[in-house]
Chains A and B, each alone.
Chain A
Amino acid sequence: MTPFLEIAVGLVLVIGSAFSLIATLGLLRLKDVYMRMHAGSKAGTLGSGLMLIALAVHTGEVDVLTRALAGVVFFLLTAPVAAHLLAKASYEVGYRPCSDTHIDEMGKRDT
């Protein structure tokens, strides 16, 4: 592996971990479950995706590459669905958005 590629892999790994860290910070700092879902579903997905791609490039084998790509695709497919279901479930059981929330059009429907 060329030094250039190694530096690139290292950089992507660091950026990926930074996004995962930010996702965690977001869980701690944001105010209610819906806002936390934003941090978890976006920064988290990008972080793990980047790290998987870095791993694939690092090994440089086709079978690892296909598995890593499959992993990234499944992350992209499942993270939004999971976030959506969590948000829906929390709303159904009556967890209301925090007091900063200034519009809630879901509250208005069929009640």
Chain B
Amino acid sequence: MTGLFLINILLALAWGAVTGSFAEVNLLFGFLLGTMALYLIREQAGSDRYLRRFWLIFVLAMTFVYELVLSAVRVASIVLRPKIELKPGIIAYPLTVDRDFEITMLANLITLTPGTLSVDVSDDRSTLYIHCIDVPDKQATIDDIKNSFERKILEAFR
């Protein structure tokens, strides 16, 4: 996995050397070419999983940006309402992911999504405390996070 990534970088550098230019754009192009080369030999080098993971991380990053835009619009609509009537609350979210960096990532994603903000992790790393700006139904919020982000993180890093 890491090995293939290094090979990909090496291929990008080789492309830079061959074309005689180490400009950022050219190196990026070389990196893409290297990825394509790895795709061609995917059955021999086992780069299938590597490319798939690349794609999943890309999807995760795009989800991140999309949710950020969505949540900013939602916050904007709440703030601009003439009368603010909300039911905020702090809920306990049972974690499925257990590695530290996965929890960090999930917490960050939660903070950037509509109406939720991670406040704390319990000491045994099994519960995440989330502040919701408007939570009429606690279970619905939990299911929502379970089915979107946590699943995506599990897919990308397991």
Whether B75 and A26, one on each chain, are in contact in the complex, defined by CB atoms closer than 8 angstroms, is: yes
Check B47 for interface membership: any CB of A closer than 8 A. no
Q: Which residues of B contact A11 (CB under 8 A)?
A: none
From residue A45, how far is it (CB to closest CB) to chain B in Å? 7
Whether B75 and A101, one on each chain, are in contact in the complex, defined by CB atoms closer than 8 angstroms, is: no
The answer to whether A98 and B76 touch (CB under 8 A), given A45-B112, A87-B117, A109-B122, is no
Check B63 for interface membership: any CB of A closer than 8 A. no
Check A5 for interface membership: any CB of B closer than 8 A. no
From residue A75, how far is it (CB to closest CB) to chain B in Å? 10
Check A68 for interface membership: any CB of B closer than 8 A. no
CA–CA, A29 and B129, complex, Å = 24
CA–CA, A13 and B34, complex, Å = 36
Q: Which residues of B contact A32 (CB under 8 A)?
A: 88
The answer to whether A106 and B120 touch (CB under 8 A), given A22-B75, A84-B107, is yes
Residues facing A in B100-144 (CB within 8 A) are 107-109, 111-112, 115, 117-120, 122, 129, 131, 133, 135, 138
- B residues with a Cβ closer than 8 A to A are 23-25, 64-65, 68-69, 71-72, 75-76, 78-80, 84, 86-92, 107-109, 111-112, 115, 117-120, 122, 129, 131, 133, 135, 138
- A residues with a Cβ closer than 8 A to B are 19, 22-23, 25-26, 29-32, 34-35, 37-39, 41-43, 45-47, 62, 66, 76-77, 79-81, 83-84, 87-88, 91, 97-98, 100-107, 109
The contact sample of 13 A-B pairs, CB cut-off 8 A, is: A26-B75, A42-B112, A76-B112, A77-B108, A79-B111, A80-B108, A84-B117, A91-B120, A97-B89, A97-B131, A100-B86, A103-B89, A103-B91
Question: Which 8 A-B residue pairs are closest in the complex by CB-CB distance?
Answer: A103-B89, A80-B111, A46-B72, A105-B92, A80-B108, A26-B79, A34-B131, A22-B76
